[in-house]
Each structure stands twice: as C-alpha cells, then as structure tokens.
Amino acid sequence: MSSQPTHADLFAAANEVCTRTITDIEGGLDGQRTSDAAEAIRRQEMERHEVEIAKLAAEHDAREKQERLEKIEQDRLDIEAAERDLQMRKQALHHAQQVADEHDNDDDDDDDDDDGSVATPEGHPVSHKLVHLIYS
C-alpha cells in the first residue's frame, strides 16, 4: 500500500496545482489590468491629440476664411478705386472734347464754311477730331 498515493499526497498535489493555477491567473489578471490601464492612457492621449488636431484645423479654416474675406474686400476697394479713376478720366476727356469743340466753333466762325466736314442724310454735320490727352 505504500506504493499507492495517500489522500494526503493527492490532496497536497491537488492543492499545489490549484495554488499555481490561482497564482498564474492572478498574475495574468495583474498583467491585464496593467495593459488595460496603459490602453486607457493611450486612448486618452489619442483623444486629446484628435481634439488638438480638430482645433488647429478649425483655426486654420478660420484664418483662410478671414484671408479670403480680406482679399475680397481689397479687390472691392481696388475696383472702386479703378472705377473712380476711370470716371475722372472720362470727365477729363469730356472736358477736353468740350474745349476742343468750343475751339473748333471759334475757328468755324472765321472760315468759309468749307471745313471738310461731311453731312449726314439728316443734314447734321459730322466732323472728325483727334484729341490727345496725357495722364500721369
């Protein structure tokens, strides 16, 4: 009978197997808790990073929108300035044409009415004038 294990030996072997299993499982659980904590920290960092990227993208978009609005406003001001300049040039040309017409009318009073002008079918005289203006 001594060759067969006793209850005490079986109990001791079973107890040792259970103890090792419990120790292994507890060690695995500790490792899993550590891994879970590290994963939670990593996710928090990723979320913070994504929030920061979204914030930077929003700031970038806002800057681009502001720059577009400023460019549109500058273009509008440039167009208005060009229109004012064009209007001044038109007025100067109109004034120069009036002065030239008055000068031609003064010359017409002194001539023989044969100034080389052509009449339209309605009888209105047509004359050709060349006006040179210098703008600075």
Confidence of residue 132 (pLDDT cuts 50, 70, 90): low
Task: Please state, in angstroms and rounded to a whole number, the distance separating the CA atoms of residues 111 and 106.
Answer: 9
Above 80 in pLDDT, residue 72? yes
Domain boundaries, the chain: 7-102
Residue in the block written with tokens 């167009």:
79
pTM (2 d.p.): 0.45
Kindly report which listed range (1-5, 109-113, 123-127) carries the lowest average pLDDT score. Answer: 109-113
H or E element, residue 119: strand 118-119
